[in-house]
Amino acid sequence: MLQFTQQEMMVIRNKMTKSILSRLIKDNQVVLSKYTLIPPDNRATWNLYYFCPEHGVRLDWQWDKPTQHCCPVDGEEFRGEPYDGAWWRGLNGLNAKACYELGLLWQLTQQPQYLEKVKQILLGYARYYPDYEPHGGIPYNGPGKANAQTLCEANCHLDFALGYDFIRNDLTTDEREYIECRLLCEGADFLMQHRSEQLHNHEMKISATIGVIGLIVEQSRYIEFAVNSKYGLKYQLSEGVNAEGMWFEGSIHYHYYALQALLAFEKVAHQTSYSLRYEPNYYKMIAFPLQLMSATGDFPRLNDCIAGQEKLTHSHLFEFAYRQFNTPILASALATIYKGRARDNVDALLYGVAHLVYEEPLICQSIHSPVSGLTIMHHAELNNMLLLKHAPYGGEHDHYDRLGLIICRNGIEILPDLGTTGYGAEIHYGYYKNTATHNTLAVNQKNQPPTNPKCLDYQKTPIFTFIDTLVDWAEPIHELDSHTIVQWDDEAYDGVTYRRSILWLGDIAIEINQVTNPQHNQLDLTWHFRGDLQHNDELISIDNPLSGPLQRMTNCRQHRLTGLQHYQFSIDGQPDFNCYLYSPYISEVLTGLAPDNPATQDLAYLLLRSQQPDFKAVAIHDLTLTGNLVLESIRWEQNDLLIEYIKNHIRYKIHLDFSGEKTEVKIVF
């Protein structure tokens, strides 16, 4: 066994608890209690088809219902494709997971039923695997054999290989040769043929699996390909991680998904010459996103992040990483993971140190990351937060939402980033991934083209934080070494520039939007609130005038904005939230309801619409719980913005001068 020495396994057996043992058995009870079912052909497709098309939630997978697939929200039953093929992908995943976990149970207990079940799974797949026909058609992905994409193939083979390592010494020579030749090496060869020449989390997982197989079957050609070839693990780590430590795709979920692949390899390779521990970006990649916790206590749902993936639950990463590095921030990550629950799991059993040095759990903090393009402004006492996304384009898993916002008040998201749902559901590409469903600027309701925003200015003082950012779609973008599909509209944004500046006062957020629009296209500054817009007599009911992602918006109302307008939203569990919009130009305001995530409830949308060639607008978000902000006046004078308001009986005067290279901010009270 390569994963652990016999001495290490003896220590693990002595640490094992009854609860860990019972959970492992319970989690694999379906496989243990049923006959070993393995697809005889390439009928399995994609697990991300297994989502309700209406609600965007995962369907209820049942072992004994391969042709009946129910939505857990309303019980609607779906039959046929793509659900049947996705069911078989679920079975492959279940079998592969059981291969690893039952192999571990064999090592922990030496009970023969676990050994026998892993043998059945591995020998069964080895019987059919060489004859599975490659198939695919999944966006952005290469083909699979047992499954419909190369990534899924790698995920299953990683568990097959690790499970095999647990039982290898208990197999006959013929059984070892059969499994290694017909399943593991066959799989590694297939993965080598179909690993794409790109930076991507997929290629991290594919390379990691090839490398683990190579280590276990002692084939150096696999290991060299996985680690040292172009687009192998070292290359991905060097070129795909920026100087701050952020994975280029910009999704915190995919950051840790790529890291999960890296550590899966490292857990097997850490005592070999192929260990990657001392690569310059290795530790930075582990630690950097831990600074990006939201005021909600979770990660922000940036880019492709399916609901639930924003949770910090990564014990499989941080138990091992803490053993390697023993730093305070990793201890804080573990303290966060185990807040309110015992440190009694397989990851701590296999990789954890005996005693953690206690650190406080992670909390939201202000951070300005100019390279990663993420700025968080946080008021610790009030737990208010604003996140501005000015990140460079990250490819497939990015969303088209440059200069997008997330705002939290007292730990609750008021203006959220929705993330997304299963990619096989229509609502992923049809709704969640689009510019129009983010808190930013949409032109003609089309998606923003890829661009790399500029941070023009960042000021932090004891009184305020100010950030000034700019997107110019005329600027050339550095070509990304990652495959993309064009899902944006270059023509709509031709000549458009968008400047968004944020003045953060802790309990008030002032955003200043300035747009150049030489083609007089339809500009929509969009905000969606997790609340209900209170009655406003000026709003008149209309038919939905929008196309694209927001054509599904309901309860549409409209009014003309002339100067300053107040909007009030009722918020579940908090006092009402107040937002003020101002523009020196006559413009339209459109409101309505469209899906939240999951799509079992709606958000309140607010669109400020104009076709002005030079458009300016201000949004003031009152983050106080008392609602005692009184706006006295707001006006533009050439390049100067002047705001006066009263709060707690104190008059404040704000002057922002945009005429110079850097914005001058003056606050008098």
**Measured at the alpha carbon of residue 230, what is the angle toward residues 225 and 234, in degrees to the nearest 5?**
80
Q: Do 96 and 102 contact (CB within 8 A), yes or no?
A: no
Q: Is 334 helix (H, G, I), strand (E, B) or coil?
A: helix
* Spatial distance between the Cα atoms of 64 and 75, rounded to a whole number of angstroms: 17
> Each residue of 594-605: pLDDT tens digit?
999 999 999 999
Q: Is 2 helix (H, G, I), strand (E, B) or coil?
A: coil
Q: If you average pLDDT over residues 323-348, what whole number do you get? A: 96
DSSP of 228-264: HSTTSHHHHHHHSB-TTS-BTT--HHHHHHHHHHHHH
Specify the CATH number of the domain 367-626: 2.70.98.70
The model carries a pTM of: 0.94
Q: Is 405 helix (H, G, I), strand (E, B) or coil?
A: strand
- The pLDDT value given to residue 478: 77
Helix crossing, 150-167 with 83-109: angle to 10°? 20
Q: If you average pLDDT over residues 369-381, what whole number do you get? A: 98
* Spatial distance between the Cα atoms of 103 and 98, rounded to a whole number of angstroms: 8
Average pLDDT of the chain is: 96
pLDDT of residue 451 exceeding 80: yes
Q: Is 537 helix (H, G, I), strand (E, B) or coil?
A: coil
- The pLDDT value given to residue 479: 83
Region of poorest pLDDT, from 315-319, 449-453, 478-482:
478-482
- The pLDDT value given to residue 250: 95
Could you tell me the residue ranges of all domains in the chain?
Answer: 367-626
- What is the percent of the chain with per-residue pLDDT over 90, rounded to a whole number? 96
Q: If you average pLDDT over residues 239-263, what whole number do you get? A: 97
Bin 360: left if φ > 0, else alpha if -120 < ψ < 50, else beta.
Answer: beta
User: In degrees rounded to 5, what are phi and psi of residue 539?
Assistant: -80, 130
- The pLDDT value given to residue 253: 95
| Backbone CA torsion sign across 338, 341, 345, 350 | positive
Q: Is 504 helix (H, G, I), strand (E, B) or coil?
A: strand
Separation of CA 157 from chain center: 24
Q: If you average pLDDT over residues 548-555, what whole number do you get? A: 97
Largest CA distance in the chain: 85
- The pLDDT value given to residue 280: 94
**Own/partner long-range contacts of 330-333 (Cβ < 8 Å, ≥24 apart):** 330/286, 330/287, 330/290, 331/356, 331/357, 331/358, 331/359, 332/290, 332/359, 332/360, 332/361, 332/362, 333/290, 333/362
- The pLDDT value given to residue 476: 87
> Each residue of 98-109: pLDDT tens digit?
999 999 999 999
Q: Do 654 and 636 contact (CB within 8 A), yes or no?
A: no
* Spatial distance between the Cα atoms of 326 and 319, rounded to a whole number of angstroms: 10
**Do the strands 650-657 and 640-647 form a parallel or antiparallel pair, or are they unpaired?**
antiparallel
- The pLDDT value given to residue 535: 84
Q: Is 149 helix (H, G, I), strand (E, B) or coil?
A: coil
Please report, to the nearest 10 degrees, the dihedral formed by the alpha carbons of residues 339, 344, 347, 353 taken in order: 80
**Tokens 């497939």 -> residue:** 396
> Each residue of 561-586: pLDDT tens digit?
999 999 999 999 999 999 999 999 99
Cis peptide before 598 (omega within 30 of 0): yes
pLDDT of residue 192 exceeding 90: yes
| Helices vs. strands in the chain: H and E counts, helices first | 17, 23
- The pLDDT value given to residue 140: 83
> Each residue of 518-546: pLDDT tens digit?
999 999 999 999 999 998 888 999 999 99
Beta bridge partners of 216: none
**Tokens 């309110």 -> residue:** 340
- The pLDDT value given to residue 574: 95
Q: Do 94 and 5 contact (CB within 8 A), yes or no?
A: no
